[in-house]
Structure 1
Amino acid sequence: MRKWLLALLIIGGNAHAAGVDAISPGRLQFEAGEMAVGISPAPEKIERVLIVIHGRLRNAETYRKSAERATELAGKTAHTLVIAPQFLNESDVALYSLPNTLLRWKGNEWMGGGLSTGPKPLSSYAALDAIVARVSDRKQFPDVKQIVIFGHSGGGQVVQRYALLAKDQPALKANGIRLRYVVANPSSYAYFNEQRPMAFDHAQCPGFNRWKYGLTDMPVYAGGQTPMQLESSYIKREVIYLLGQQDIDPQHPALDKSCAAEAQGAYRLERGKLFFGYLLRRHPEGVNQRLVEVPGVGHNGDGMLTSPEGLKALFD
C-alpha cells in the first residue's frame, strides 16, 4: 500500500484561471497515461476507501476536502483513505500547459464513460475500475473492508451510470470487500427501457432513450452487454440515492433542461424519487438499493457529504 501511495507524484501549487479551478496534485499511473488525483493523508490501517467523484466543474480538490471533513465528522479518519480522481478535459491541459502524459477527455464525455483523447484511449469508467482494482488488492491494501464511491451532481450522474455498466471484479468478492455506490442529486438517470414518468412529445425528443438517458447507443465500455443483463446486475448492487429535500428548483442553472432530462421530472428531487419508484415497480421482489432524503439541503455537495444522512450513507 505504501508503495502505491508513494507513486503519487506531487507537483507544484494550484493555479487558478477560467475553466477548472485547480489541478489535483497527485498522479496515478495507468497503462494509457497518468491521471490527476487528490488523496488524503494515509492512515496506518486503511479499512475503508472513499472514492469521491466531482461534477462538471471538475473541482476534485473541493470534493476531496469535503470528503475529508465528512470523514472527520464521522470519526473515521483513523481507517479511511479518500481518493478524488480528476477527469480533466483538453481545455484544462492547454490552459495549464500540462504534460502530454496526462489523461484528458473531450468536453464532458468522461461523464458518460467516453474514451480519453490522449495520450491513449481509456474509458473514464475503466479508470474507475482500475482504482477499485488497486485498492482491493490485498498485497497493497491488506485491511480494506469497504469501498464507497460517492458522486454529487454531475458526479452523481457518473456514479449511477458506472454502477449500471461496471464489470464485476472477482477480487472484491474473493477478498470480502463490500462496494457501495452513493448517488447524490444527479440531474438525470439512465433508464432501462423507453418508459418515462413524464409525458413528452417523442417526435420532438428523438434522443430521449439514447445513452446517457437510456440504453441505446451505449459506450464501448458497455462491452456488448444487453439492457436485460445490465438491469439484472444493477439491482443487485448496493446503491444509495441521496437526495436533498431542497433541490427542487426547476430553473437551477446547473440543472439539465434538455427534453430527455425533462421527461424524467421537473427538478432533481422529483427525478430521483420517480426513478426509484420506477425501479421498485419493475422489481417488486426488492432491490439492494434505497433512497434517503436529506432535510434542509439543496444542490450543495458539501452539505450532502457532511449531513447526518450523508455520513450514515458513507460510513454506516
Structure 2
Amino acid sequence: MGIDRPAAAAPSHREAVKVVADTPLPVTGAAGAGVFRLYVSRDWSKPDPSVTRAVTVIHGRLRNAVVYRRSAETALVAAGPEAQAETLLVTPQFLADQDIPARDLPPDTLRWTAEGWMGGEPATGPAPVSSFEALDAIMDRLADRALFPNLRQIVIAGHSAGGQVVQRYAAAFRKDAALARLGVRMRFVVANPSSYLYFSADRSTPTDPKACPDVDRWKYGLQDRPPYAADRDAPTLEAEYVARDVVMLLGAKDADPNHRALDRSCAAEAQGPNRLARGLNYFDYLSARHPDGFRHVLRRVAGVGHNGDAMLTSPCGLRALFDAPGCDAP
C-alpha cells in the first residue's frame, strides 16, 4: 500500500535565490551607486561588431534568472543560425534583501524588496537606485558604439513579474532620443503579467478608490509614482508609451482566476479576473483611447498557460524576440 505524502510546497519569492548571476554591472543612479548582477551570452567588455541585436529577458517573481537564461538560449537556437550569429543575450537578476546574507554577497550588491523591483522602486541598499536605472545601465552598455558599433535593435522582454517590469519600464522609458540618434530601435515584449499600468481611472470593473485606495496608485495607476517616472506628466507618459514598439504576448490558457502567483489585490482584480482577461482588457483600453496610430501588437499564444519557457520559445515568442517568421495571426 502506498503512503500518502503531502505535496511539496511551491517555491516562494520570499525565499533566497539558489543561484546568483555571474556578471557584475556597476550602476550609478540619481541617488547613489551599486552593483547589479546579470548573465551575458558573450564577453561584452570588448568590441563585438557582429552584434546587431541585443535581447534582454527578465525573470519572474522567483528571481530565477538562470532559468530564464536557459529559456532565452533555447529560443535563440530555435530562431536559427543567423540570429545566433548576430544576437547578444542579457539576463538580469533583481536580487532581494534576503539574497544578500543567504548567498554571502558583497555589501555593494544592489537589492530590492521582494516586490519593489517589479515597479521601478528604489533599491533598499546600498543606495536607493531604481530597478529601472539598473535597466538603463544595460541600455547604456549596449549603446556604447566602441563595444557594439553595429547594434541596430534592443529587445527587452519579461514574463509574469518580469512582464510587469517591462510594461512599467516601457511606460517610463527615458532612452528613446539617445538610442534614436544611434539608429537603434527599441522593442518591449510584455508576456503574461498579473497587472498593467493604467493612465486614467477607467477599468473593466469599476472600483471605488475609497474602498480600494491602490487602484490608481503606482504600479496600477499614476498616483504616487516613483522618482524615475515622476519627471513627466500623465499625458506625456501615455503619449510616449503608446508610440513605442510594444508586443503583448498572452497565453491563451493563462485564464486561471485562482493561480497561486496571480495578483489578487483589489487593484489588480479591477483589471479583470485573470491574466488573459486583464491583457485583453488593457489592449482594448489603449485601443479605444488611441484609435489613430496605435502601434502595439497583441498575440495570443495558443495552448500555453502561465509558462515562461513555452511563451518565449513559441513561434510568437520567436517573432517578438528575433523577428523570426511565423505567428502571423494577431
TM (normalized to structure 2)? Answer: 0.88
- Match status 1:204 vs 2:211: yes
Kindly report which structure 2 residues correspond to 1:53-92, keeping only aligned pairs within 5 A, or say none: 53-75=58-80, 76-92=83-99
Once residues 177 and 236 of structure 2 are traced to their aligned partners in structure 1, the CA distance between those partners, rounded to angstroms, is 17
Would you say how many aligned residue pairs link Structure 1 and Structure 2? 300
Cα deviation, residue 77, structure 1:
1.1
Once residues 44 and 289 of structure 1 are traced to their aligned partners in structure 2, the CA distance between those partners, rounded to angstroms, is: 30
Whether contact under 8 Å (1:240, 1:291) holds in the other structure is yes
Corresponding residue of 1:27 = 24
Match of residue 279, structure 1, among 286, 307, 312: 286
2:27/2:133 contact within 8 Å kept: no
CA separation in 2, counterparts of 1:69 and 1:300? 14
1:302 to 296, 303, 309: 309
Contact 1:55–1:154 (8 Å) recurs in 2? yes
Question: Which amino acid letter does the alignment assign opposite residue 280 of structure 1?
Answer: S
Determine what percentage of the aligned residue pairs are the same residue: 52
Q: State the distance in 1 between where 2:179 and 2:209 align.
A: 42
Q: Matches of 2:299 and 2:224 in 1, distance apart?
A: 31
Residue 278 of structure 1, CA deviation: 0.3
How far is the alpha carbon of 1:307 from its aligned partner? 0.3
Task: Note the aligned Cα RMSD (angstroms).
Answer: 1.4
Q: Is the 8 A contact 2:253 2:303 kept in 1?
A: yes
Bigger mean CA offset, 187-196 vs 106-115: 106-115
Specify the alignment match of 2:37 in structure 1.
36
Aligned to 2:273: 266
- Separation of aligned partners in 1, 2:88 and 2:151: 10
Pairwise mapping of residues 120-159 of structure 1 onto structure 2 (< 5 A)?
Answer: 120-159=127-166
Q: Secondary structure of the equivalent of 1:78?
A: helix
The equivalent residue for 2:237 is 230
Counterpart CA distance in 1 for 2:283 and 2:155 is: 20
Distance (Å, rounded) in 1 between the aligned partners of 2:305 and 2:39:
26
Residue 112 (str. 1) matches residue 112 (str. 2): no
- 2:192, 2:249 within 8 Å by CA — same for their partners in 1? yes
Give the TM-score normalised by structure 1.
0.92
Other-structure match for 1:187? 194
Give the aligned partner of residue 3 of structure 2: none
Q: 1:275 to 1:46 in 2, by over 3 A?
A: same
Cα shift at 1:33 = 1.5
Provide the rounded CA distance (Å) in 2 between the counterparts of 1:122 and 1:240: 27
CA-to-aligned-CA distance 1:141-168 (integer Å, 9 cap, x gap): 1111110000000000000000001113
Report the 3-state secondary structure (helix = DSSP H, G, I; strand = E; otherwise coil) of the residue aligned with 2:285: helix
Instruction: Write out per-residue CA displacement over residues 21-48 of structure 1, whole angstroms, 9 at most, x where no aligned residue.
Output: 2111111122312111111135761111
8 Å contact from structure 1 (residues 280, 286) kept in 2: no
